[in-house]
């Protein structure tokens, strides 16, 4: 209770302030509707509206998250084991992170069809974050353990398997946690640039029809999904790395 009570009080206070502002300051232009109005619109739209769009966006984001993180972890291992590969590809990974999604999205839409552009954008959104987290963890392995393996005749691959992979898990999961909402953002932006369904498409349609409460509802659903993805990844990371230090609250 001591851990959850401050956050609960903060959320309730935020909702109360939001409700007050929505009914007073923004009552005329409806730009910021009160939470009760958003909840009524959410109930009116129902699961028949949200479930298909959520399923589409989650499928795109999940595939992008999986593909992007596999590439990032493979690159991190290659960088540690083969330094020449790092000098050749690290700048490419950085460039992929710096690419404006809005600029590359239309190009991907021309080159690929169906959900592929959205999956690629989601993957590009996560590669660099997970790459850096995994790379830092691999290089932060205990030097004494590495030297012990080398003293017994083990090579770099034995060091990787016996020491580095276990040592990198906390940092890797930190990157994976950040990558989860990033993949959601990449998928939704991809839907903005062209798709038949998904939360991004639903948001565009609601904006064009001036359904303000529905637009806010879709945004809150997307935020909740991103937060849930972050929390689930953090939970898995905590279960797999019980030795890692935790921040007490």
Model pLDDT for residues 114-147, shown as the tens digit of each residue: 888 899 999 988 998 999 999 999 988 888 888 8
CATH code of the domain covering residue 98: 1.10.3720.10
Range of the domain at 45: 35-240
Q: Token pair of 91, please?
A: 């700048």
The structure's pTM equals 0.86
CA angle centred on 98, ends 92 and 99, rounded to 5°: 90
Number of domains in the chain: 1
Query: Residue 215 half-sphere exposure, CB side, CA atoms within 13 Å?
Result: 14
| 87-121 pLDDT tens trace | 778 888 888 777 777 778 788 878 887 888 899 99
Which of 173, 163, 177, 219 is CA-nearest to residue 32? 219
Q: State what percent of residues in the chain have pLDDT above 90.
A: 35
Is residue 28, in this structure, part of any structural domain at all? no
Q: Is the pLDDT of residue 249 over 70?
A: no
Q: Measured on CA atoms in the order 200, 206, 207, 211, is the torsion positive or negative?
A: negative
Is residue 125, in this structure, part of any structural domain at all? yes
């Amino acid at each position: 209770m001591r851990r959850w009570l401050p956050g609960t009080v903060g959320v309730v206070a935020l909702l109360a302030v939001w409700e007050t502002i929505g009914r007073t300051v923004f009552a005329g232009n409806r730009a910021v509707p009160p939470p009760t109005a958003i909840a009524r619109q959410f109930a009116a739209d129902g699961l028949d509206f949200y479930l298909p769009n959520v399923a589409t966006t989650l499928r795109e984001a999940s595939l992008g998250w999986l593909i992007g993180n596999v590439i990032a972890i493979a690159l991190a291992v290659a960088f540690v084991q083969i330094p020449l590969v790092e000098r050749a590809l690290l700048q490419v990974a950085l460039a992929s992170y710096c690419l404006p999604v809005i600029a590359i999205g239309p190009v991907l839409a021309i080159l690929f069809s169906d959900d592929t552009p959205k999956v690629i954008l989601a993957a590009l959104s996560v590669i660099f974050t997970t790459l850096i987290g995994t790379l830092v963890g691999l290089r932060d392995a205990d030097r004494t353990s590495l030297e012990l393996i080398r003293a017994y005749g083990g090579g770099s691959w034995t060091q990787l398997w016996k020491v580095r992979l276990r040592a990198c898990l906390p940092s890797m999961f930190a990157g994976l946690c950040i990558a989860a909402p990033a993949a959601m953002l990449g998928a939704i932006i991809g839907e903005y640039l062209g798709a038949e369904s998904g939360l991004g498409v639903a948001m565009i349609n609601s904006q064009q029809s001036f359904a303000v409460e529905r637009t806010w509802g879709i945004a809150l659903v997307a935020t909740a999904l991103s937060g849930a993805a972050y929390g689930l990844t953090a939970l898995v990371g905590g279960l797999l790395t019980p030795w890692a230090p935790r921040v007490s609250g």
